[in-house]
Structure 1
Amino acid sequence: MRLPPKQSKQLYSRRQNYFIDADSGAEIARQMRQEMLITPAMGGLFVEHPDLSQVDRILDIYCGPGSWSLELAYMYPEIEVVGIDTNRNMIDYARAQARVQGLENVYFQTMNPKNLLDFPDGSFDIVNARFIAPYLYKRDWPAVLHEFARVTCPGGIIRLTEFDEMGLSNSAACNKMARLYAQALHHNGQSFHPLPDGPHLCITPMLAAFLEKAGCQNIQEKLHALNYSVGSEAYHSNYENLKVAYKLGQPFLLQMEVATQQELDELYEQMLLEMLADDFHAIWYFLTVWGYKSF
């Protein structure tokens, strides 16, 4: 049975605590570019679940412009895919893309995953949430995972993919920029690192515990690596990805008072120069953790 789409003040933003203005056209384009990097680095849409013959409905949390949901709907026309996001511009774009591609098995809704989801219990066989940490405060995770579990059918899968930092590299400026974001997110109550000046978010070690507390069993993990060193296939695309992300995120760093505008401008230009060097080497690691909801 198909379920057609229906149509508080935060520390950082009244609408959401995401560190980039999601209404920006540049951010929509950046997320689409990033999606083209991430799925291949993960080995495909569902490399750890090669048989989806028993799957009827999949929910994509914080779907953004809908790239993953759209590709999934295209590859599996017999599966109904629902993508949700807090940002209406993202949802409008995703809906337009579904119409252009003629996909009738994918729906997009404006919905806040931090609230009660507007779906009945056990609505989905798989709930997929990829790179949602920038949208959540540390305190949000238990309730959010509980809600994911509520809308997952017994025996269904909850699948989380996260990263702790935007890559490791031999660029001093890149590493310093990443550390500033880690500090800013810590100041904003979004990091699990025990130190306020910690170099990363420490979110990936928490994922299995979140799933266990949400009532999942048979929890498994898979590590992914995206090499974006000079000369690699991903180099140019991730250079542009980071170039845009770190520029759009500057207002957040300023509000969190981890640097001045002059410091950010100088560091940003140095980062771009070092990423263009012939000996630039970098790898971005992220982790997928999934579990099966108890019957």
Structure 2
Amino acid sequence: MAIPAVGADGIRQTVNYNITPEQTVWNLRSALNVAALNCQDPQHATILPAYASLLTRNKRELTSVNREVTKQFRDRYGSQGQNAQDDYMTQVYNYFALPPAIDEFCNVATRVADESLAVAPADLETFAARGLQSLEAVFEDFYRSYEQYRVNVAMWDARYGPPQAVNPASYTGAAYYTPADQGFGPEVRGEPVFISEPVVERPDTALTASPGVSPETALIAAPPTVETGSTITPSIFAEPATSPSPSADMPSVDTPVTEAPADGVPASETVFVSNPVVAPIPEEGD
């Protein structure tokens, strides 16, 4: 909640601070308008008829006051005078309708409204200054109480509150704190560092390929030459160049051939896996 500051003169700078006599009259009328709309408890029932009587008995004076207030805004803000006046009056209505202070505001507004019934039109300006001061005291009391409450909370937190925890963070670059930081760790500058481990496939049984033969061509035979008019069934897989040792298992078509790591290569290096490349069977007549 924003609280109006207290000026060097010791007076709080609210919407009713340093205003003209005409604005004082108009702001009192606005305050009673807010009270008539918001103070609906039985003990505040006299506000509405008293406010209606004030408008009726002082119609001419209030019209003149409104005209003068509009002129003051136009003289001060030029072509934006009407907008400035509308914005200011919105602040005035919201000021008097402040929810935390509404109960006491209604009590004081009831007394001011009752007093207005005995005010002559010639005394309207004097009455407005006195009545607005009474209403303003309601909000001054509230603001002071709220300020003291915030001081008390800060003192309690400083004495009994738990320390704020700062979460550890891994980062590169310098860290710095900002006013927005609420104890959830430093704001980090720098690029994040991503670390990953290689995925290694470790076959149970590896066959050692012949030196100088790539996995793609190790088991592929060149297609046979077909004479015109003859039919043969080509052999897709060539026989091994040398007879395998009795302890070695021969691969089948369904078993992928793997290449064991070369001598001196660490076991953590990636093992390449390739499937057999099958040469197509030529069609007859080609």
On whether the aligned pair clears a TM of 0.5, the verdict is no
Answer 1 or 2: which has greater strand percent: 1
| TM-score normalised to structure 2 length | 0.25
Asked which structure has the greater CA Rg, the reply is 2
